[in-house]
């Protein structure tokens, strides 16, 4: 692996470090438990934009500095939400929608490296990543209904990920669950000892980075688009994507390499 290089300076919000072929976005509001603010959400959106077209990056890891992944919206943000008018709240909701969609459809492999608490909006950020690696001390929760809020945006992605029955219970109860329960529900894909989390994520990320970048991008596009299609429409769309993939340079090189073996 190449030497780690900081490509976005340390701020109170986040850093981006790159070690080919991996990039890591670290939320750095440690004193606020990496709580979400409009400014942090804007920085996250910009960070994913910067990495999207970076050909040296094949996998993006999202994590939080300190003892918490992200504890959800900070107090100042919640206060502002309570004081906003309808138009301001709609615009703010759409900005969060756009960020979640950007991460969910990001054309490269994304990993949420979760330790400590991932709550409310913080849990939403983890949910839209392709894979969640959870330390065994992690705690997940969609806690919005406990304060009269609703987990509206994340509900769309959570139902896709774990099904309506489990999503309904988590979203309505606002209860916090352990890493093991998150794994049993299909929310987290891997649970590892806290001290081994960093190494486990790095090893996995290096493994999946060997896959074809164009195939990853096309598969993610396929998965995002096919939900809700009829069986017939879904199969037709899949056939068209299959044909598109066959014409890529990655496919041609992959087939040639396979035939040589």
Residues with active-site annotation: 144
Question: Which of 3-7, 158-162, 244-248 is least confident?
Answer: 3-7
Confidence of residue 2 (pLDDT cuts 50, 70, 90): low
Mean pLDDT score, 17-26? 97
DSSP 36: B
Which pLDDT does position 1 carry in this prediction? 45
Which one has a higher pLDDT value, 260 or 10? 260
Give Dmax over CA atoms of the chain in angstroms.
65
Other Cβ atoms closer than 10 A to 9: 7
Q: CA 37: distance to chain centroid? A: 17
Confidence of residue 186 (pLDDT cuts 50, 70, 90): very high
Render pLDDT for 189-243 as a digit per residue (tens, 0 to 9): 999 999 999 999 999 999 999 999 999 999 999 999 988 899 999 899 899 888 8
Render pLDDT for 84-95 as a digit per residue (tens, 0 to 9): 888 988 988 899
Residue 26 has pLDDT above 80, yes or no: yes
What is this structure's pTM?
A: 0.91
Which pLDDT does position 242 carry in this prediction? 87
Mean pLDDT score, 128-139? 98
Pairing of β 139-141 and β 176-178: antiparallel
Residues 6+ apart with CB under 8 A from 76: 37
Give the rounded percent of residues in the chain with a pLDDT score beyond 90.
75
Q: What share of the chain is helix, strand, coil (3-state, %, to 5)?
A: 55, 20, 25
């Amino acid at each position: 692996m190449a030497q780690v290089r900081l490509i976005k300076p340390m701020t109170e919000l986040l850093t981006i470090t790159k070690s080919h072929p991996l990039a890591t976005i670290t939320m750095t509001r440690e004193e606020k438990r990496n709580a979400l603010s409009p400014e942090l959400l804007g920085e996250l959106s910009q960070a994913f934009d910067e990495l999207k077209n970076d050909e040296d990056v094949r996998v993006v890891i999202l994590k939080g500095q300190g003892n918490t992944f992200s504890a959800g919206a900070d107090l100042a943000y919640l206060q502002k939400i309570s004081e906003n008018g309808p138009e301001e709240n709609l615009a703010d909701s759409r900005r969060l929608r756009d960020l979640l969609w950007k991460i969910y459809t990001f054309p490269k492999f994304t990993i949420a490296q979760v330790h400590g608490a991932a709550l409310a909006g913080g849990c939403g950020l983890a949910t839209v990543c392709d894979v969640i690696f959870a330390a065994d001390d992690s705690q997940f929760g969609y806690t919005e209904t406990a304060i009269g809020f609703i987990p509206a945006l994340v509900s769309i992605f959570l139902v896709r990920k774990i099904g309506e029955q489990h999503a309904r219970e988590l979203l309505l109860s606002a209860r916090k669950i352990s890493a093991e329960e998150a794994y049993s529900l299909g929310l987290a894909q891997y649970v590892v000892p806290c001290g081994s989390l960093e190494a486990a994520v790095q090893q996995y990320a290096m493994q999946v980075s060997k896959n074809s970048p164009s195939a990853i991008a096309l598969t993610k596009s396929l998965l995002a688009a096919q939900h809700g299609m009829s069986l017939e429409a879904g199969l037709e769309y899949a056939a068209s994507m299959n044909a598109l993939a066959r014409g890529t340079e990655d496919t041609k090189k992959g087939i040639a390499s396979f035939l040589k073996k």
